[in-house]
Amino acid sequence: MELSDFSATTIAGSTQELSAYRGKVVLIVNVASECGFTGQYEGLQALYQEYAAQGLVVLGFPCDQFGHQEPGDEATIQAFCTTRFSVTFPMFAKISVNGADAHPLYAWLKSSRPGLLGTEAIKWNFTKFLLGRDGKVINRYAPADKPQALRTDIERALGQPAGVA
């Protein structure tokens, strides 16, 4: 499997085939508006602005499974991200990342790159997955890993053609 095998609902309510990001380096993040890590939106937007022309896309997936830190509806989330952090990268509708209702994309991400001690479950908001141009998971990053700390891995992935891990 790879990223292009999935689709997701955008924050505006339309279906987005993730094959639209084929050939791009993709950073997927489960986000929340009322989390201690919410300030990372700024760093995610900075990465997107800096590297988008080279082929990076950041995809934000709001999630309310951790401490009810994403209580709003999609319109509220979109307004928050736009006004507070000037987010321009693609945002999606609120999803579950764990449990029986986990979005299929997240089930695949977690099994592709388990976390600490081999556990697949997402532990908190702002867990990040970096995917190469081939649509495969390169790495998983903890919520505390700041977006800026991913620069080297992103630059390395951007320098590789599709299909090269």
**Which residues are identified as catalytic?**
35
CB 150 within 8 A of CB 56: no
Please count the CA atoms within 13 angstroms of the CA of 38 that sit on its side-chain side. 16
3-class secondary structure, 53: helix
β partners of residue 95: 63
Integer Cα distance of 146 and 107 in angstroms: 23
Integer Cα distance of 81 and 130 in angstroms: 21
Q: Pull the structure tokens for residue 147.
A: 């977006």
Report the 10 Å Cβ neighbour count for 49: 14
